[in-house]
Amino acid sequence: MKLAKRVEELPPYLFAQISKVIAAKKAQGIDVVTFGIGDPDLPTPPHILAALHRAADDPANHRYPESEGLPRLRQAIADWYERRFEVAFDAEREALALIGSKEGIAHMALTLIDPGDVALVTDPGYPVYEIGTMFAGGVAVKLPLTRENGWLPDLDAIPEDLAARARVLWLNYPNNPTAAVADLAFFEKAVAWAREYDVSICHDNPYCDVAFDGYRPLSIFQAPGAREVAIEFNSFSKIYNMTGWRIGMAVGNAELVDALMRVKSNIDSGIPQAIQEMAIEAVNGPQGVIADHNAIYQRRRDRIVETLRAIGLDADPPKASLYVWAKLPDGVTSGDFAARLIEECAVVVTPGRGYGVNGEGYVRLSVTIADDRMEEGLRRLRDWGGLGGA
């Protein structure tokens, strides 16, 4: 049996590897505490679940859904964007429902990339931007992110010939894995750059309402001219604790939205309509749950940062996202550090190298861990004592 070359060359997915490590330890009877995956431990709010229960009893929701999402859902998405970011979208032409934003991100490459085309992806970055490019036959060129540049790509450093060849620029702020944020000036510069070189921008924005200390993340569409060049992916997963229900959204340039819809309509059959009803309730219902969740995450963030500093890591409290991005002491690799933690105290963190070469020397910890398990994990880290005393 011969598999396609794209599958033969496909690297193992980072979190699938981590899950295997955890499963192996548990099979040995070892209690593992994981700060690995950014999957909210807090339940989906009851009023959203109630919408699912009602919709599940309606036979109309037992049939095939529409690929682009219910018109009421697309309108609810457009209305939410207008309330949240003061940006208006045409629900019919500029909004689309997704089977989780990861699905839309992966399929977006098929709308923009022909074999040999260039996609600019940030390093470190969410692996799906590069993998989607590879599936479409494109070439992912890495834009380095560093602590010194605030984990933002230096657009001025992109060579003219590379900019001229690029078809798409992937951005993600608030950022995974670094938790960095971008201001309006950066988005304005990115839009101007994209317009100059005729490049489409795909902005991944699932953490826009996971924010702390009064910070309010932006949408790229708050930058003038963004509608000419950009599409933004968003998700109900992180905002409303709906990761398991698999529903997301895309808004933006009508041509890009339509292209993604045409790809999706030929590949998938849409989102179950009862889950779409959940999403409508999520954006139209009580929004106080967001502040309640963020208060819990912020408290956990502060506890994690405190402990990481105590064991010799350099960590700043993030303004947004579900992650703490911590710098290791010089000379310590992220893979070795993560391996020592799992072996010596049964604590899982995500090595930064898994997000690209510029993630080396860092580890990522998620705040999506129940308080009792978090405290147990932090106790183990304090008892372990850090690299100097271990």
> Where are the domains positioned within the chain?
5-44+289-384, 46-284
Q: What is the pLDDT of residues 168-210, one digit of tens each?
A: 999 999 999 999 999 999 999 999 999 999 999 999 999 999 9
Q: CA nearest 297: which of 212, 373, 180?
A: 212
**Virtual CA dihedral for 259, 265, 271, 277, nearest 10 degrees?**
70
β-strands 314-315, 323-327 pairing: antiparallel
Q: CA nearest 333: which of 316, 353, 348?
A: 353
CA distance 185 to 147: 18
Residue by residue, pLDDT tens for the chain (390 residues) are 889 988 888 877 666 667 777 888 888 899 999 999 899 999 999 999 999 999 999 999 999 998 889 999 999 999 999 999 999 999 999 999 999 999 999 999 999 999 999 999 999 999 999 999 999 999 999 999 999 999 999 999 999 999 999 999 999 999 999 999 999 999 999 999 999 999 999 999 999 999 999 999 999 999 999 999 999 999 999 999 999 999 999 999 999 999 999 999 999 999 999 999 999 999 999 999 999 999 999 999 999 999 999 999 999 999 999 999 999 999 999 999 999 999 999 999 999 999 999 999 999 999 999 999 999 999 999 999 877 544
Instruction: Kindly state the helix (H) or strand (E) to which residue 49 belongs, with its residue range.
Output: helix 46-56
CA distance 297 to 324: 11
> What's the start-to-end Cα distance of the chain, in Å?
48
pTM: 0.95
Alpha carbon distances (Å) from 280 to 72, 80, 233? 8, 10, 17
CA distance 116 to 108: 16
**Virtual CA dihedral for 58, 244, 83, 109, nearest 10 degrees?**
-110
The fold of the 46-284 domain, in CATH, is Aspartate Aminotransferase; domain 2 (3.40.640)
Out of 3.30.420.40, 3.90.1150.10, 3.30.110.40, 3.40.50.970, the CATH code matching 5-44+289-384 is: 3.90.1150.10
